[in-house]
Amino acid sequence: MDRATRFIANRKQDKIRVVREQPSVQSMREGEEVLYFRNRGTLTRYRKERGKIWTSDMHGSQNKHEKGKLTVDNLQVNSRLEYTTSFIDYRIFSHNFTDDLPSSKIYIPWQGTAEQTSVPEARSSFLAPFDMTCHKLMMKIPEMATSTTDIVFTVEETVENDLAPSTVCTFDFTDSFVDDSVITINRSDWNADPTVPAGSLIHIGLNPDNSNITDAERHFIITSVWKTIVTI
């Protein structure tokens, strides 16, 4: 084959067609390639090879969506997956304590196992490094002396140069207590957006409506999950 013939052969390629329906193993021939626009605005290239469908996404903007499991494997020394702008993370905290609950508000601990009656206080305060939203709060109910007491949960904040905490949102638990069950407060259950901005102190309050909720010290197991906007 002379030079001119090779040039023509290399330039002569079948144009990859754009299809309107999502390709499948049944709709494609072996070795065929097609393009398909997904609903999310992604142009995907499909190729059928060895009886399987292989895909490669193309993006017209900086937004990229990955489906399935992302595995990063690099054997180079000091190699790592690094974020350069911002990302959303979910941080989990333990607030366990032991107490015979009073009929007044207490603040559950962020460290240690001792609740407090006022804030700001080191053990019942957390300095938010980024904007944080209470995604979920869970409490395992210990043995209770009564099943009819209400408990008001609060998310509170102390802003910079302000020693008095303010209430961000509340949740009033009014159902009957069942020993060893779990109270779950989701983000949508609070009466307002449970978001605390970066730089504020976060406090979580718990306020029973009477002192007969427990008749002895009980172990309260509490976990919170916070959606965190990490900014690099």
Assess whether 53 and 111 both reside in one domain: no
- Work out how many domains the chain is built from and give that number: 2
Owning domain of residue 115:
86-231
Assess whether 39 and 99 both reside in one domain: no
pTM, to two decimals:
0.71
Assess whether 148 and 37 both reside in one domain: no
The torsion region of residue 101 among left (phi > 0), alpha (psi -120 to 50) and beta comes to beta
Assess whether 116 and 50 both reside in one domain: no
Whole-number Å distance between alpha carbons of 39 and 43: 9
Assess whether 115 and 27 both reside in one domain: no
Position 163: which residue type?
A: L
* Domain presence at residue 81: no
Q: DSSP states of 140-174 as a string? A: E----S-S---EEEEEEEE-TT--S-EEEEEEEE-
Do 207 and 151 meet the contact criterion of CB atoms below 8 Å apart? yes
Q: What CATH number has the domain bearing residue 175? A: 2.60.120
Dihedral sign, CA of 209, 215, 217, 218?
Answer: negative
* Domain presence at residue 135: yes
> Tens-of-pLDDT digits for all 232 residues of the chain?
566 665 555 554 457 888 888 899 999 999 899 999 877 667 899 999 999 999 988 776 666 666 677 776 665 656 677 777 889 999 999 999 998 888 889 999 999 989 999 998 899 999 999 999 999 999 998 888 777 678 999 999 998 766 789 999 999 998 888 888 899 999 999 999 999 999 999 999 999 887 677 788 889 999 999 999 998 8
